[in-house]
Amino acid sequence: MEQTNHTFPLLGDAFPEMEVQTTHGVKKLPEDYKGKWLVLFSHPGDFTPVCTTEFVAFAQHYEQFKEINADLLGLSVDQVFAHIKWHEWIEDNLKVDIPFPIIADNLGTVSNKLGLLHPGKGSNTVRAVYVVDPNGIIRLIIYYPQEIGRSVDEIVRAVKALQVSDNEGVATPENWPNNSLLGDRVIVPPATDVKMAEERLKNYECYDWWFCHKER
């Protein structure tokens, strides 16, 4: 099978500068979101069942994202009028308002820059999530196949975990703050020399010198 090379930004890269058309007007990325966390998520297409359930969930979690200084921004290769009609359909039939803008990437410009076009699926975009920090740096990327819907709860959790890690200089365990071993405790960065390893055991609760944790 012929291998196709795809290029897109990686974790730690600056989010590409671009101007996009959205259902809330033209926006400049990442400039318009400076000082906030941006959750950019793409969907395969408007008026599709899985995407509709996801948009409802993102709308229902909108206030949670706002509370953690995160803005939502949707994207697909549909035209802006299709986004507007889909938004209206969701509001009329499911009684849920979509409060965040949706990028109309009908030319595929944004999707090509971000690696969002699904290989072998024509012009449909993958289910991807880009989390961009207040400095415009990409901190998290998640890709899903078309057949699998996302967990919006997990995206909220991941943004919160990134913020805790940045603010406190720690790592977070699996499923934090509900880890089966540590609960809501956080992990202390591993020691980098012998002296620090000895101090870790004295100053923190540890399973070993390389696995220490603490309360926040």
Sheet (strand 211-214) strand order: 186-187, 211-214, 205-208
Characterize the bridge pairing of strands 138-144 and 127-132: antiparallel
Residue 21, number of CB atoms within 10 A of its CB: 19
Long-range contacts, stretch 25-32, CB < 8 angstroms, 24+ apart? 25/101, 27/73, 27/101, 27/103, 30/132, 30/136, 31/136
Both tokens assigned to 213: 């944790």
* Residue from 184, 177, 18 nearest 110 by CA: 18
| Catalytic center residues | 51
What does the alpha-carbon distance between residue 171 and residue 155 come to, in Å, rounded to a whole number? 17
**Residue 36 DSSP one-character state:** S
The number of CA neighbours under 13 Å toward the Cβ of 59 is: 17
Radius of gyration of the chain (CA): 20
